[in-house]
Amino acid sequence: MLLMLSATRVGIMNKQTILFLCTHNAARSQMAEGVVNAQFGDRYVARSAGSDPTEVHPCAVEVMAELGIDISRQRAKSLSEFDDAPFNYVVTMCADTAENCSIFPGGATYLHHPFDDPAAGAGSSPEQCATFQIRA
């Protein structure tokens, strides 16, 4: 049993860590966290946070469920929750600098991939949730 637990810990420790950041931690970063953990969880552990966290948008949960990814238990998190945590990658997702994209000092590699905020002005009707859909 101890050997199995140790092997599990080693497996987790060998995974690359990613922190996705956006302003409200309501949609973009939550969805990215969900996709990475669901599709690439064998190699990566993803987390998300925001500089001004609100709550996970219902459309983000709905659109991810349509893809078979459950983010309904995720919650909006502040950057301060990860103050002492190192990450291999820190990915900022704000569409432009006017959104005051978060800065996190605990990353080894920093990437910026701008996405417009689908939650900006969106309600939760099916038509409004269409702006959350992931397109290849």
Which two structure tokens, joined as six digits, stand for 120? 């900006």
Q: Which of 22, 49, 79, 91 is catalytic?
A: 22
Are the CB atoms for 52 and 23 separated by under 8 Å?
yes
Q: Where are the alpha helices (DSSP H) in the chain?
A: 2-13, 28-39, 58-66, 126-129
SS3 assignment, position 78: strand
Q: Does the annotation mark 129 as catalytic?
A: no
Q: Does the annotation mark 59 as catalytic?
A: no
Q: Does the annotation mark 94 as catalytic?
A: yes
Q: Which of 49, 56, 59, 101 is catalytic?
A: 101
Measured CA to CA, the distance from residue 82 to residue 27 in angstroms comes to 19
Q: Which of 69, 71, 91, 94 is catalytic?
A: 94
SS3 assignment, position 18: strand
Which two structure tokens, joined as six digits, stand for 23? 């302003």
Per DSSP, what are the bridge partners of residue 78?
A: 50
User: Which residues are catalytic, by number?
Assistant: 22, 94, 101
